[in-house]
Amino acid sequence: MNFKKSILVTFIYIVLMAIGMFFMHFVRGGTYGPSMMGTLVWVEIISSIFIIYFIYKYSNWKEIGFGKIKKKQVLWLLPCYVGILFSIYLLFSSAIHVGVAKEQWTNILLIFITVIFVGFSEEVVFRGILLRGAMKKFNYIPALLISAFGFALLHTVNVLGGQSISVTIQQFIMTFIFALFFIPLALKINNLVPLIIFHILWDFLFLSSAAFDITIIHAGLLQIYILLIIVILLPITIIQFRKKLK
């Protein structure tokens, strides 16, 4: 898939998310957070169908990031998997101990279904289609920045869902940094599936925490590890791609 088509897919995806946020907040009266899942899940399903159609029409799964998995590189994500699953266990143990209403469990199920589509669509669009398309036109660093900026830009539509401008700016910065974690891993692992799984678990943990109104104790440790991965892997991948260009 060439760069122009990858930009087009990214633009349409962001517009669909913006429409969904606007509809959820200004039409249905909802606010950005766990309560928005009833609207967001349908937007994500429609977006995922659009993405799959576009891939089959203009590209293929291998070209946009679903190559043979380099299993040893998945080990970089292993501490994240362990940390997130442990945090989910503690979160649900606390929720059960406090007592959870039937309506909350229904919302948790809806959150889980939604984040499956979120993890799939966001990884495929930003670490797959946009990143690979940009790498066909530019070298690694500009492609990395384009992909990271696109991912951060997506999250600015949350302001249409009722999120404050200050929080949206913070989220823009954080998602840009997180993209610097995802991109080197996407290229090192050579397959988006492990990142999709991580993305699903991460979103499920934090949205469930907000739904239960319970603080995640170990979130800081996970974020420190992610920053450590960026510091280690980002220079390595830059050097590797520069060598390939020589």
User: CA 191 to CA 124: how far, in whole Å?
Assistant: 10
Radius of gyration of the chain (CA): 18
Place of tokens 């997130």: 84
Residues whose CB is less than 8 angstroms from the CB of residue 217 and which lie 6 or more positions away in sequence, other chains included: 87, 90
Residue 80 CB burial class (10 angstroms; 0-12, 13-18, ≥19): buried
Helix (H, G, I), strand (E, B) or coil at 137: helix
**pLDDT tens, the chain, 246 aa long:** 799 999 999 999 999 999 999 999 999 888 887 778 888 999 999 999 999 999 999 999 999 999 999 999 999 898 889 888 988 998 999 999 888 877 888 899 999 999 999 999 999 999 999 999 999 999 889 999 999 999 999 999 999 999 999 999 999 999 999 999 899 999 999 999 999 999 999 999 999 998 888 887 666 777 788 888 888 888 888 787 766 655
- Per domain, the residue ranges of the chain are 3-245
Q: Decide: helix, strand or coil at residue 191.
A: strand
Q: How many helices (H) and strands (E) does the chain have?
A: 10, 0
